[in-house]
Amino acid sequence: MSLHVLIVDDDRDHAESVADILEMRGYAIDIAGSGEAGVAKFGEGGFDVVLMDVKMPGMNGVEAFFAIRELKPDAQVLMMTGFSVEELVEKAMANGALAHAPAELAVAVTGIAGPGGGTAEKLAGLLHLATP
pLDDT digits 0-9 by tens, 28-58 = 999 999 999 999 999 998 899 999 998 899 9
Return the closest-CA partner of residue 89 out of 38, 52, 43: 52
Q: Over the stretch 71-108, which tens digit does the pLDDT of each residue have?
A: 999 898 888 876 555 666 677 777 777 655 554 443 33
What is the DSSP code (8-state) at residue 25?
A: T
Q: What's the count of helices (H) and strands (E) in the chain, helices before strands?
A: 6, 5
Report the distance separating Cα 26 and Cα 71, nearest Å.
27
Report the distance separating Cα 43 and Cα 67, nearest Å.
10
47-66: string of b/e by CB count within 10 Å (b at 16+)?
A: bbbbbbbbbbeebbbbbbbb
Tell me what pLDDT residue 14 has: 87
| pLDDT for residue 111 is more than 50 | no
Cβ contacts of 119 within 8 Å, gap of 6 or more:
3, 48, 49, 76
Total-model pTM? 0.69
Q: What single letter denotes the amino acid at residue 55?
A: K
| pLDDT for residue 116 is more than 60 | no
Kindly state the average pLDDT of the residues 8-29: 89
Average pLDDT for the chain: 76
Instruction: Tell which wins on pLDDT, 18 or 124.
Output: 18
Answer yes or no: are the C-beta atoms of 125 and 101 closer than 8 Å: no
What is the DSSP code (8-state) at residue 82?
A: S
